[in-house]
Structure formats: structure tokens, C-alpha cells
Structure 1
Amino acid sequence: MPTRETDISTGNPALDDILGGGLTCNRIYLLDGHPGTGKTTVGIQFLLDGIARGERGLYVSLSETKNELHAIAHSHGWTLDGINIYELIDASDSLNAESQYTMFHPSEVELGETTKRMLQEVERLNPQRVVIDSLSELRLLAQNPLRYRRQILALKQFFVGRDCTAIFLDDKTSSDTDLQLQSIAHGVISLDRVPTDFGDERRRLRIIKYRGREFVGGWHDFHIERGGVKIFPRIATANDEMNGRKQPTLLKSGNESIDKLLGDGIAPGTSTLMLGPTGVGKSTCSTLFAATACARGERAVIFTFDETKSTLIARSTNLGMDLVQLEESGKLEIIQVNPGDITPGQFAHMVRQSILPNQEGIPASIVIIDSLNGYLSSMPEERFLQIQMHELLNYLANCGVATFLIVAQHGMLGPTNQTPIDASYLSDNVVLFRYFEAAGEIRQAVSVVKKRDGRHERSIREFRMTNGEIIVGEPLYDFHGVLVGTPTYTGKPGDLLKNRGKDV
């Protein structure tokens, strides 16, 4: 039996981390949320954890039957053996005319009787963990805030000194938020379910209050799946968990011209923005960095939002990158993401898990997010994207992971190219790709416009993907206006026609 002032687990390791180590034992807690947000599931997990530790648990149900609770447990693959379930549901004869009260208001009789039976059961079993589901039934019986608050205070005083940790569930059926109840509880956990315009709904939780304890504030996404509630804590919970890992040397692409543009390579722990219209070579160039890192014995992870895994593999194979062999060796992981079925918190959790050391003890050194346009689609509101991405990039930088962010601009040619979001200030390096027209041909150009941690080449070079190769040509000395997509040729006309179809 845990002693006073020690912590006990909620049965969910992620929730324990958010709470700063779990729940202070021998206190009462409020777990509130609208119907269907997962309160019952969290409560059962709490009791099951106690059973596993040899502690007696009691589930007091004021609204659900034993059969319903067993059905919920069965859906998660659990058994409630060992948990005492006490039903406090009105008897069937309450609908009979003979059972209706005439001299006393029903609340004066039913509330006192309900509370009395509940406390008698707690005294009889003397459990270490109790879940009361739900307080909305007591609120309805009390019928006025004063009686209800007094009843909750009486319950709190009853549990004090009993070496018992109690979680009260509340389904928020009252018209107003019950701040009085929150003020009585030692800690308050709130569950929420938010519908989205498209795709799956978003579930999230936050800690509203926890006396005497530092906790991770803000909203944390979660899913209800077989096996319980799976929580994806905000990335702030693990900013330093991988500090001190061995830092690799400069990351090179394996293409001498690209590395020269970038000042001999990308520094570990930096973020690189690949910016340009669709099809210009952004994903291919970043994949080249990943394949080269894997060839050096490092690990890389690619999150693809926009194209299928098979398309990425086929396109890379045509350019001499065997991603299948790299995957089979365990050095490369390609994760296809459906923006409609993922929340920002879940994606951040996926990234955190993907860079952890594999079975050989090798952590990932490169993460590619292809693309931010697809990531933006997973956000409920666009203004949150920069904050989410800022936290994620800071975390990856602390871990020494180089990140490549792919952003597809709207439009193909000319000065109308626009980005869905300005992420350039978040990135340490910015590589700009452009289409331009010359001698009746559509050509591609590449340049590095920003590198925070060192020198880089400032020339604009032609970029080609042809015959299974990635070719970076000579600087475009004879062109002016390539970056805006409307270049002017200042060289000799004969030279332009002579070089038609070749590298400039």
C-alpha cells in the first residue's frame, strides 16, 4: 500500500509523464469531459493498474450497468476480474406510482440514500483506489448548487485519512462549467472531443489544475483504441531526453556540386527548407541526402504526405537510389501519412518515436517531412502550424537530427509563386528551386539563399534530373531574373542555342 504523499500511476505512462510522475495518493481528482471522450476508459485503466500492484479497487457506477462496463473492458481486451463494481442505479420500481414521494422532495430522500449506500460500500471494502461514475447523477439529485457542493465536500472529508485515492467522473451535462467542483478537487483533468471539417474527429486532454505539482500544460492529443487511451504528449515533455547523443560530421548529399552550393554540407541539428513549385526536384534532392546518410551507416526517416510510398520508391530508383534495399537493411524508414487521419500531436509523437535508436542502437540522423503542405492539411486551424513546427524543429535540433522540410509553392512559372505558409524564418537553411524558360525549353535552377551556420555558394545553377542522374550545371552567368521566373538572357544568342538541351 502506498504511503501518503507518494505518487501512484494512472495506468497510462504518457499521462503520468504529463502529470509530472502520476497522482499524489490519498487525494480526490476530477476527470471531466463530454460523453464519449474516454472518461470511463481512463477510470478502468486506473483501477486495473492498482489490481496489478496488489491494491483493492472499487468502481461505483451511478449510470452504467455491470454488463455495460464489462462490454467496455472486453472491447479493449481487458477483464474486470478483481475490480469490485457497485451499481447505484435506481431500482425498476421507481417508475411505479406507489414509490413516488408526496411529503418530501425526492432529492431530500434519494440524495441522502444514494450517498449513504456509496459510503457504506467504501467502508466495507476499504479500497485503495475508487472511481465514482458520474457526479452528474448526484448533481441532478441535489437539484441546487448549495446541496450539491455540500455533498461533494462531505465526500471529500470522508475520503481524507482513508488511504484511498478517488477519481470522480463528470460528463459536463450541466449548462455551465462547474468551477466549484474544480476548486474542491486536488487535481482536474479535462477531456475534449473536437469535430473537424474533414477526416476523423480530434480528441485531446489538458490538466486544468494540480495542487503543489508542476505539470505539462496545454492540450495533448489522444486516441481511444483497443488497449485503452493512447496519449500523444506535447513535445515539450521531452525536449532534453536525447541531449548528448554523438554528433555526426557534416551531412553530405554525395553530389559534389550540391554539397559545394551548401558550403560542403548540412550541419547536424539544423533544418533545411526545400522551396519551389511542384516537380522541380525538391523531394529528390532531400531523398539523396537520406540515401547517402544510410550508405554511411546512419539512419534516415521519410514522412511522406503527398505521394505514395511506391511512387517515391519508383521515382528514386530511376535516379539510382535503391530505397527498397535501404529499408530492408533497417537504415531507412518510409512512413506514409494520411493528413485526414492524423492530429498534430500524433504526428509529433510519431517523429519522436521514429528517431529513437533501433535494435542496433543507431538513432536517426535525418528526418524528411514531405511536405509541409500535407502537414498543413492535418491542422485544424492554419495559425497553429508555425507554433507546432517550431516546437518540433527545436526538439529535433536538441537531438542532433537534421530536418528537411519540403514546401510546394502555388503556381509553376513567373512571379506568382506563393507558399501556403512562410516557414523560411524557422529554417536554418533555405534551398530555392525554380523553373525558367530558355530557348523554347523549360529548365530548372537551384540556389542556396540562406545558411545560418556557415558559408554557402551564392550562385544560381541549372539543375537537371536525367538519365538516372542528378546534375548541377555551371552558374547561370548569362541570365538575369531566374529567381522570379522571367529571366533575361544577356549572353550571345548563338551560345544559348548551342547549349540547347544541355547543361548551361
Structure 2
Amino acid sequence: MKLDDTAVPSTQDGLMKVGVPGLDDVLGGGLTSNRLYLVEGTPGAGKTTIALQFLIEGARRGESVLYVTLSETAQELRGVAFSHGWDLSGIEVREMLPSEAALEPDEQYTMFHPSEVELSETTLRILSDVDVLKPSRVVFDSLSELRLLAGSSLRYRRQILALKQFFAGRQCTVLLLDDMTAMKHDLQVQSIAHAVLRLEQISSDYGAARRRLIVSKYRGQQFRGGYHDYRIERGGLRVFPRLVASEHSSALTQERIPSGLDSLDTLLGGGLERGTSTLFVGAPGTGKSTVAVQFALAAAQRGECAALFIFDESIYTLRTRCESMGMDLAPHIESGRIKVRQVDPAELSPGEFVHLIRLAVVECAAAVVVIDSLNGYLNAMPDERFLIVQLHELLSYLGQAGVATLLVGAQHGLIGMQMQTPVDASYLADAVVLLRYFELDGEVRQAISVLKKRGGAHERTIRDFSMTATGLRVGEPLRHFRGILTGIPIPIDGVQPAS
């Protein structure tokens, strides 16, 4: 099962495939044939790219396609295609640009307004080409030129209505591109178009610009509402549809997955349940990431697949650190049972991050997913307002897929009760494991405890915890002390914990 739908036939249930990965999913299957559509966005948002992909898809299927450009030259279009590695040989390009003669004084109109002459000439040339080529897909780039040639809103609207009627009678699907350069954004074409797709690009304070799209309307068709992130890369535009967890519900059997450490599994009441999420929280260096990796390693040793998405350290550092504790990830990474993806915080959008996790689940059948850390996730997307809601949707999806999700959250501070977490996801997680430093006899020690577990009973004890050259060690409960979580425990009866 693949997430992309590019191999689907050109029409399915009367819908025409666009040729943009992920966009057909957003549109509910594709575009209704023989209709007029509006694609609007500011310059640089990717309108030309999406239009070329639409025509290339048609040419690939043996259809006649036409690109009518009123603003760019054919040479500029070929430059765009070359940057993506495309061949435009199957696309008819018609330039409707003013000739050099228009610069001559004798060519300037005196008795008539330019709109009265140029608009009629442009329209006649377009209609003539359509009658000859009989295309099934046509792109107009862009409406700004037609709007200026029309001169008035009334004439502009009538011209668009006439074009819509003309193409509807010739079994043709039309994309109108609008660069939104008009001083006032009117809704004339939006009211006429069968569907409206708006592309947006948002410049962040640091890192690459974020791009997203929304379907404003689509007559007679169920579509995926809301904003969807997309990326323009070599090969074209790729859309990452917004995740809706309720669309992926399935029946699950309650099953525990062990960590490979008997003492840790005892603390957790037998291990973690499939389809649940667990938050490992504590100060930096307490062993949160290492415990999460232990579950991934155990899954790989059972022959299952695990996926790690790391924000805060490099893959080299992760492997070196684990090898120093006897946790050799190399053979499992090479075999593909453990997949590690280092996330670049400045380049990734929330939608693309969710898409990568879905790929790990759908294509690699990942049984364990580790997100390390939520702090990095938050810092990677500081301008996003609804990350917690999106995280809830992601955890719901992974839970319904039977994936054990392990989240790592670093607290601010090192010791004591005044610990703060920048991302409070404890109410979302099914289980919360706390790792904490405490001081004892001039040494900094570590403790581990389970604060919450919806999947069943678990130990309420606080156990000694350490990371050694032979692996993780979960010791005996620290029963002879009180105040462990304060960082400075007080002996009850003078008995020291086992070392």
C-alpha cells in the first residue's frame, strides 16, 4: 500500500487525476472533468508548477493539452520544466504576449481603448487554437492579464463566463491561474469556478518558507478541508494531506510489547501495550532517549520494524552513545528493521513530518515509533499555533494502527520540584514515565518511576536507575528514602540503596 496515488487511472468515477502527489487525496479523488477551476496564489507559490504537472499528466496518458501564457514566455516555461527534469514535448504552448511592435509609437491606440482591441484579439487567437488542437486540458496563465485587458469588472466577468461556456461545450477541463496581483482581491472568478484552490507561502523568522494550500470550494464533491502543507522540490510539487485519524480506525487486540529488560517490564506492569503512547519525561541526561531506544531495539530483535525521528542529536551521536552501553544499532539499521531519520528543524513543516511518520507505518509496518524530542518538535515549528491538536491527531492515528508511540520530553532544570516542561503532552499520552536526578552521599543518582498507565496496572515504586557499559539497569525500589522527587532524599532508617 502506497500513500501516493499517481498510478491511479486518469479518470475514476468521473474524476480526472491532477498528477500532483497528495493533491488528488485532498480533492476527494481528483477534478470533475469538463469544468473550469481556479488556482490562485501569490508569485512564487507554485501555480505554474502545479499547472505543468496537470498538463504533463494528461500528455502522459495520451491526451491533447494546451498551455496558454499571457505573462511568461515559452522559453521561461522550458526553464521551469528543465529545473524539474521534465520534458514539455507533449504540451502545446501558446504565447499571447505583446510583440515588440507594440513599443512603436504608431502602434499605440488613439481612437479606441486598448481593452476594446487587445482583449478581442487575444480571445480570438485562443479560441482558434482550441478548435484546431481540441485539447482535453487547458491552462491559462494568468488571469491578471485578462483582468487588465477587460478594463471593467463587468466585462471581465462576462469574458470568464463566455470562456467557461465555450470550453464546457468542447469536453475540456480548464485551470485558470491567478497571481493575486490586483490591488483589490475580487471574488468574480471564485463565484464562477467549479472549484477554487489557494496556494500560500509563509515566511518564517528563520528557516525555509512554509507553504500550504486550501480548497476554498468544490461544487458537488466531498474534499478534505483545512490547510495542507506542501513542498516544491525537483520533480514538482508534493502535497501532504492533513491527517484525519478517524479515517483510519481499525480493530486492535490488546498485546504488550516487552523492552527486553525484565526489571523495566516489571515496573511497567509487563511492558507497553500496542496502540498506546508513552511519554518519557525528565531532565536532560536522565536516560529518556536511551529507554525509548531500548524498546526500538527489542522490537528489531523480535523481527519487527521500528522508526526513530530524532531532532536533538545526529545519527552518528545516537549510534555511538548506544554502542557505549552495549546497544548495537548498526546491524538493525543496515537490515532496515530500525529506520532513523534525523529531522532538520529549519526545513520541515508539520504536515511533512506527519507524512514521514505515515510512510514508516504504511510502507515499513513500523511497530514502534520514537519521537525524540517534543522540545525539538516544538522548536522546529515555533510559528504553528495548533501543534498540540495536530499531535493529538497523530497519536490517535498511530494508536489505531497498533503502533507503540514513544515520546521524549525534556524538562527545564536539573533537580528539585521546580521542573517545567515546554510541551505539556502528559494528558495526551497513555503512559508517563518519569526519570529524575537525586543527590545521595555526594553523588548524582537517577531514579525511574511510572506516574500513569492507562493500559493496566503498574508498579507505584520509585526505582534506582543507571546507564552502564553493559546496558540499562533498573534497580530495586528506593523504599528507605522519602523525598526522592525533590532531588534531596531523606533516609528513613539509615539504610542506603544498593549500588
TM-score scaled by length of structure 2: 0.95
Counterparts of residues 143-222 of structure 1 (less than 5 Å): 143-222=151-230
Return the letter of the residue paired with 2:329. Answer: L
Which residue of structure 2 lines up, in the alignment, with residue 90 of structure 1?
Answer: 98
Q: 1:411 to 1:26 in 2, by over 3 A?
A: same
Q: 2:281 aligns with which of 271, 275, 291?
A: 275
Which residue of structure 1 lines up, in the alignment, with residue 6 of structure 2?
Answer: none
1:301–1:367 contact (8 Å) kept in structure 2: yes
Counterparts of residues 443-458 of structure 1 (less than 5 Å): 443-458=445-460
1:408–1:419 contact (8 Å) kept in structure 2: yes
Which residue of structure 2 lines up, in the alignment, with residue 27 of structure 1?
Answer: 35
Deviation for aligned residue 1:248: 7.8
Q: Quick check: 1:488 aligned with 2:456?
A: no
Deviation for aligned residue 1:9: 0.7
Which residue of structure 2 lines up, in the alignment, with residue 124 of structure 1?
Answer: 132
Superposed CA offset, 1:432-458 (max 9, x none): 111111121111111101011211111
Q: 1:430 aligns with which of 429, 432, 439?
A: 432
Count of aligned residue pairs for this structure pair: 491
1:413–1:485 contact (8 Å) kept in structure 2: yes
1:32–1:170 contact (8 Å) kept in structure 2: yes
Rounded to whole Å, the distance in 2 between the matches of 1:6 and 1:440 is 75
Rounded to whole Å, the distance in 2 between the matches of 1:421 and 1:140 is 50
Rounded to whole Å, the distance in 1 between the matches of 2:411 and 2:27 is 41
Rounded to whole Å, the distance in 1 between the matches of 2:78 and 2:109 is 34
Rounded to whole Å, the distance in 1 between the matches of 2:360 and 2:395 is 14
Q: Quick check: 1:306 aligned with 2:349?
A: no
Counterparts of residues 316-355 of structure 1 (less than 5 Å): 316-355=322-361
Deviates more, 1:21-30 or 1:308-317: 308-317
- Percent of matched pairs sharing the same residue: 54
Q: Quick check: 1:138 aligned with 2:140?
A: no
Q: 1:66 aligns with which of 70, 74, 79?
A: 74
Superposed CA offset, 1:57-82 (max 9, x none): 00000001111111111111111112
Rounded to whole Å, the distance in 1 between the matches of 2:292 and 2:428 is 18
Superposed CA offset, 1:293-338 (max 9, x none): 1111111111111011111111111222110011122211111111
Alignment gaps of 5+ in structure 1: none
1:5–1:25 contact (8 Å) kept in structure 2: no
Q: Quick check: 1:51 aligned with 2:59?
A: yes
Q: 1:416 aligns with which of 396, 418, 442?
A: 418
Q: 2:441 aligns with which of 439, 442, 454?
A: 439
Q: 1:255 to 1:356 in 2, by over 3 A?
A: same
2:10–2:17 contact (8 Å) kept in structure 1: no
Superposed CA offset, 1:3-45 (max 9, x none): 9981111112411111111000000000111111111111111
Rounded to whole Å, the distance in 2 between the matches of 1:379 and 1:103 is 58
Q: 1:4 to 1:153 in 2, by over 3 A?
A: farther
Return the letter of the residue paired with 1:435. Answer: Y
1:196–1:380 contact (8 Å) kept in structure 2: no
Q: 1:254 to 1:206 in 2, by over 3 A?
A: same
TM-score scaled by length of structure 1: 0.94
Return the letter of the residue paired with 1:109. Answer: V
Q: 1:179 to 1:421 in 2, by over 3 A?
A: same
1:31–1:189 contact (8 Å) kept in structure 2: yes
Deviation for aligned residue 1:393: 0.7
Rounded to whole Å, the distance in 1 between the matches of 2:246 and 2:330 is 32
SS in 2 for 1:291: helix
Rounded to whole Å, the distance in 2 between the matches of 1:294 and 1:471 is 20
Deviates more, 1:475-484 or 1:406-415: 475-484
2:462–2:478 contact (8 Å) kept in structure 1: yes
Q: CA RMSD in A?
A: 1.8
